[in-house]
Structure 1
Amino acid sequence: MRIRALRRLAAASALVVATSLLGAPQALAEDPAPVTVRPKAVFNDPATSPNAVRDELVTLIRNTEPNGLIRGSIYLFTDGVVRDALAAAHRDRGVRVQILFDHDAVADQKLVDGVWKATGSEFSTLGQRLGRVVGYGESVDADATGSFVLGCPENRGCIGNRGLKKSDGSVEYAINHNKYFLFSKVGATPNVVFQSSANLTANHRTGMFNNAVTVPHTGLYDEYTHYWKDQLTHGTSGAGLDDYYRSTDVGAYKTYFFPRIESDRDTRDTSAVDPREDASTDTVVSLLKNVSCATTPATEIRVAMYAFTRTQVADRLAALQAAGCRVHVVVNGEDGNVGSGVRAALTSAGLTTLRQCAGTDAGSYGVHSKYLLIDGSYLGSPRKVVFTGSHNYTYPNLRSQDETLLKIDQAEIFEAYRQNFDTTLLGSAACQGALSSAP
């Protein structure tokens, strides 16, 4: 039923576009117009529109040009609808489909409390349908070959190879935490980037608030493609990197790719610079330093964040509130999502808004979005700026993992995010909780 519904949705979307371009419905039968993609933001509401982000991705896949190219990089992938859409594009229209998975998404089964349980991963099935599973050590010219899937090496991302030691002495290994897809041409529109906060899992549709952006832009597509190819290269050879920080302006957009090493560039346990205390190389702290609060009306800052443990970011938000900005924060309420230092900084700051979504642990809905909105003085001028992507405000997201942060400087996209924050999140019964100073 879902597949048929999505096909009806894609057909209806094409009909609307064609009608608007041609002006008369009767012309469609003779001369259907191709789909045109424009910059847009998409948000799901697990209570009322759980499939919105997934449906946007499937629509892009189903409208990719024959013999075109789809590339993606994803942390978790258990969604059969997306799997079937990718496989059909490969089989029926000759589209080359090339997807990078984190190693955590490779296994069909995992040992849980002594019992082997199915993971639901689509890695093996999609690999079979595409006809190739690339292994570590294989040389791959992605531009010259066909469809494939690749699993990043174990205990690292495709690029990031650093393990961060936790307070209990255990090690948190790097992952490929990305959630993006690239399309050579969708309908009439070339070079389309789809960046989401959501993994391709049922929980992220039906239990969590998530967001995505669809952006047709050649410069942005080229930057993501450069990064994707670096992920492929390091994921098939070598030991990976402890530092891959790349930031590039492309028109109204700017990309930030991680991991980013601390200032002394020393990852040993004996290093004098603690990776969890070096605010000088925290990208989000640096971005917030570009904000001025000496304005009328006051600059507004909105943060919707799944995992938030970087105390330096919380301290900066508190300082901005004290300087006259209006700071609004919504975090997720599941166990361990908010660090103790972050709790202390945010709850004592007198923020304009501080809310906690209950989360799926409480049998409710959680927020899995990761975005920062700035409405006011940024870099010395009035701006409406969005920062979104896969990047949580945690130390592994900054220091070790394969991650993407995307800046969008477009008023229409900003307004869609503002409405999502002010109306959907703040209006949800699941997100009325107060953040406490202690877990």
Structure 2
Amino acid sequence: MFVRTLALMLATAGLMLPTSAPAQAAPDAFNPKPGPTFNSAVGDQGQQRKIYNRIMRAINSSPKGSSIDIFSWNFLTQQGKDALLRAARRGVTVRLIMDDRNVTQIDNPSFPQLRAGLRTYNKNHPKKPNSWARLCEGTCRSQNGSAHTKFFTFSKVGRTPRVVMQGSANFTVASTTNQWNDIYTHTKNRQVWKFYQRIFHQAAKDKPVFPAYADKKLDKFRMIAFPIRGKNAVDPIMQTLNRVSCKGATNTANGRTKIQIAPDVIRQNRGMRLAKKLRKMWNNGCNIRIGYTVVGISIGKMLRDSSGRGPVPMKHLTQDNNCDGEFDNYFHLKSMTIRGNYYGDRSGYALVNGSANWSGLAKVSDENLGIYRSKSRVLRYEKHLDYWYGQNIWGKRNCPTGTLARQAAADNDQLIFGGDENAVYEDGTSVSNGAYDPFASQPED
């Protein structure tokens, strides 16, 4: 999710695109391989839909008797709805969880149609395992927050068992045409499969789980589920940063540890704590680069301060293509790469990806996170971030001469839903002076 402001505004964008899939699509024969997949919000449809098509192919390649479990903050795609209903009709157990605000606060026909279709299938096939689509009111596995997780599990895709895809992408058309996203695919691994199945079935009950924070350590990687609540809960981002030494690296050109961050959102008290840590690491010699969508005012000022080693390099990875004061396209990844002196290894590599922004809201929400110690994966993400960081496509474009940026609605720390006179804060109160320009200013932390 960008800020929930824009995500809710753009969620309906998919309704303007071709939405219906053939009633009887030919079965696919997809066998996914492990590793990362990226999409681009600009370019042709193939580039935009790299992740979306991967999910669709996995659905269409799930055989009779298999299961599909999807936990997506938002589900808004008629093609996806059609594919899931076809899967159910051929004997696949289909289950989906979504945040309820993406039905109650936006026009979203896909979810109720999927839910109704699955109920009809269950009624007509009482001996089959139940398929369903459910909503969580706030965090599924705790209280407050959001059901912000984004993962897709398939018991079998083609000939490949136990497929898990996790990352920043929701199952929406907006995730293809308005966002840059990533997913990381696991295949065949029983422990990965069991972890995500446990989280999914806990979330399906929409009741607090104790402890809510789950951290499974495997060889060379970890799987983590938020909220960060419970006796043994730690902030895995801060924990990862604390394991970095800024100098003495043997796998960088100048011996300084290199950190590339695309966190989407850095806000609230948690965001400030993490940003202060980055500022300290920058002053201690780490080479740091941040590509962001939203940063709180005080956080941005602190990171850009000229003291010490000077401002931390940052770039606003958003596009306003019609100069109306609203993001049209934006980086939605929540990733970090580390190359250098990490965890006692002077030639170490670490990758963090998933659904969690660097914010207080993420701390209390359902989120998925992966931490991988893999040179090849880090280099893949570095190359991706280097490319887009270097493109001259960001910011306001096509602005009429003399256009004035609209000011932020208020200097508080809440995100905003909607726009113009109908905009409201997270708590439902009205934004009194209308339109909100995320380019002009961000809510103060």
So what's the TM-score if we normalise by structure 2? 0.73
Match of 1:54 among 52, 55, 59: 52
CA distance in 2, matches of 1:193, 1:179: 11
Q: CA deviation at 1:288?
A: 0.4
SS in 2 for 1:176: coil
SS in 2 for 1:213: strand
Partner of 1:139: none
Q: Pairwise mapping of residues 128-277 of structure 1 onto structure 2 (< 5 A)?
A: 128-131=116-119, 145-152=129-136, 154=137, 156-162=138-144, 174-216=145-187, 217-233=189-205, 235=206, 238=207, 240=208, 244-261=212-229
Partner of 1:395: 360
Q: CA deviation at 1:359?
A: 4.1
1:393–1:359 distance in 2 versus 1, CA, 3 Å: farther
Q: Give the aligned length.
A: 359
Match of 2:33 among 14, 31, 38: 38
1:193–1:371 distance in 2 versus 1, CA, 3 Å: same
Partner of 2:278: 317
CA distance in 1, matches of 2:80, 2:284: 46
CA distance in 2, matches of 1:175, 1:362: 23
Partner of 1:303: 261
Aligned residue identity for 2:262: A
Q: Percent identity over the alignment? A: 22
CA distance in 1, matches of 2:441, 2:111: 39
CA distance in 1, matches of 2:94, 2:235: 34
1:68–1:40 distance in 2 versus 1, CA, 3 Å: same
Match of 2:337 among 353, 367, 373: 373
CA displacement, residues 352-409 of structure 1 (integer Å, 9 cap, x when unaligned): 63101234554542111111111112211122221111100010101x2111111122
1:2–1:52 distance in 2 versus 1, CA, 3 Å: farther
Aligned residue identity for 1:304: A
Partner of 2:302: 345
Match of 1:419 among 375, 378, 383: 383
CA distance in 1, matches of 2:222, 2:146: 23
Q: CA deviation at 1:121?
A: 4.3
Q: Which runs of 5+ in 2 are unaligned?
A: 1-17, 123-127, 250-254, 398-437
2:319–2:396 contact (8 Å) kept in structure 1: no
CA distance in 2, matches of 1:62, 1:133: 18
SS in 1 for 2:75: coil
Partner of 1:80: 78
CA displacement, residues 134-187 of structure 1 (integer Å, 9 cap, x when unaligned): 9xxxxxxxxx932111111x3x2211213xxxxxxxxxxx21001111111112
Partner of 1:293: 246
Q: Which runs of 5+ in 1 are unaligned?
A: 15-34, 111-117, 135-143, 163-173, 266-279
**Structure 1 residue 124 corresponds to structure 2 residue 112:** yes
CA distance in 2, matches of 1:410, 1:247: 19
Aligned residue identity for 1:307: V
1:220–1:422 distance in 2 versus 1, CA, 3 Å: same
CA displacement, residues 188-225 of structure 1 (integer Å, 9 cap, x when unaligned): 22111111212233332212211111111221111111
CA distance in 2, matches of 1:95, 1:77: 19
CA distance in 2, matches of 1:103, 1:250: 33
